[in-house]
Amino acid sequence: MNTPLRDLSFLPASQADLLRLSEQDVAHYNREGFVQPFDVFDAQEIAGIRSDVDGMMAALGEAGNYGINCYQARLAQIWDIATDARILDHVQDIIGPDIICWASAILSKKPHDPKQVPWHQDASFWSLSPARTVTVWLAIDDADEANSAMRFIPRTHTMGALETSATDGASVFHIETAGADELGQPFTNCLRAGQISLHADMLVHGSLANTSDRRRCGLTLRYCPPSVRIADANWAQGVEAILCRGSDPSGHWTHHPRPDNTDITATNSPHVIGNN
């Protein structure tokens, strides 16, 4: 999936002028490819977010059961989370003060959902270059090993685009990172509702089937600096970016203002990008 047009190398984050992360946090991100957990939303706030998410999923019916993708520029509720200063402070410590949110996804696994998300590297699917996206994963529900929290394979973010193979069994997509079992011991991304993690776009990650009696729901937010470019004009048509902080002198991205809309049935997702 790697092409000469895309730079999928890892650029370490700077440890200077930090807002939320410690130097140790940034060092961990640079070395392991992720860092967590961080408290963002309190119990009352995340309960309100969960109520909004439940309403969106119910309004979409079957279509909203697993994923609600890329409404960050179409729904005020998602916009407000994506631009929350507390989240952006963490992101700034990784990618710098100019921050674009180009994608989002609400990802939900019902109790006893047999589908797994196979091991994969996000940026290998995306038509972006260079690979400088950091993904924030916000826990809507408590996420732990029992209800299929996301898992990372540490230090795989510096390996470039790894070989893939076809999946078998109940899986949300048809290819996976080949030989992932030989890449290291997985880390389970346990988070309490309202907490976030951050991970690099080339880090190998996935999740198992949810064998518990509890739902596992989270919101992913994809952030990059303006130096990132969309490498495929056709793919660009499905990207609705938000300039969350700072400025974008590149002229490459089309940025969208905050939407007034709060009704998910009054609009459609422009694109489907990624699963976790």
Give the CATH number, domain containing residue 146: 2.60.120.620
Overall average pLDDT of the 73-85 stretch: 97
The average pLDDT across 60-69 equals 84
152 is a domain residue = yes
β-pair type (205-207, 99-109): unpaired
Inside any domain, residue 28: no
Arithmetic mean of pLDDT, 85-90: 98
| Domain membership flag for residue 6 | no
DSSP state of 244: E
Cβ within 8 Å of residue 118, ≥6 positions away: 167, 171, 172, 173, 175, 176, 177, 206
197 is a domain residue:
yes
pLDDT confidence of 230, banded at 50, 70, 90?
Answer: very high
- What's the total number of domains in the chain? 1
pLDDT in tens, 44-61: 999 999 999 999 999 998
Q: Which domain holds residue 201?
A: 33-266
116: which residues sit within 8 A by CB, 6+ positions away?
169, 170, 171, 172, 206, 207, 208, 209
pLDDT at position 67: 82
Residue 207, in any domain of the structure: yes
Domain assignment present for residue 27? The answer is: no
Tens digit of pLDDT for each residue in 39-48? Answer: 999 999 999 9
Query: Does the residue 132 lie in any domain?
Result: yes
Residues 189/148, Cβ–Cβ less than 8 Å: no
Coil/strand/helix, residue 135: strand
Residue with tokens 């970016």: 241
Report, in this order, helix, strand and coil percent for the chain, each rounded to 5. 25, 25, 50
pLDDT at 64 exceeding the cut of 70:
yes
pTM: 0.94
Domain-located, residue 237: yes
Degrees, nearest 5: CA angle 24-276-54: 110
Task: Residue 217: name the closest of 4, 23, 46 by CA.
Answer: 46
CB 220 within 8 A of CB 104: yes
pLDDT reported for residue 271: 63
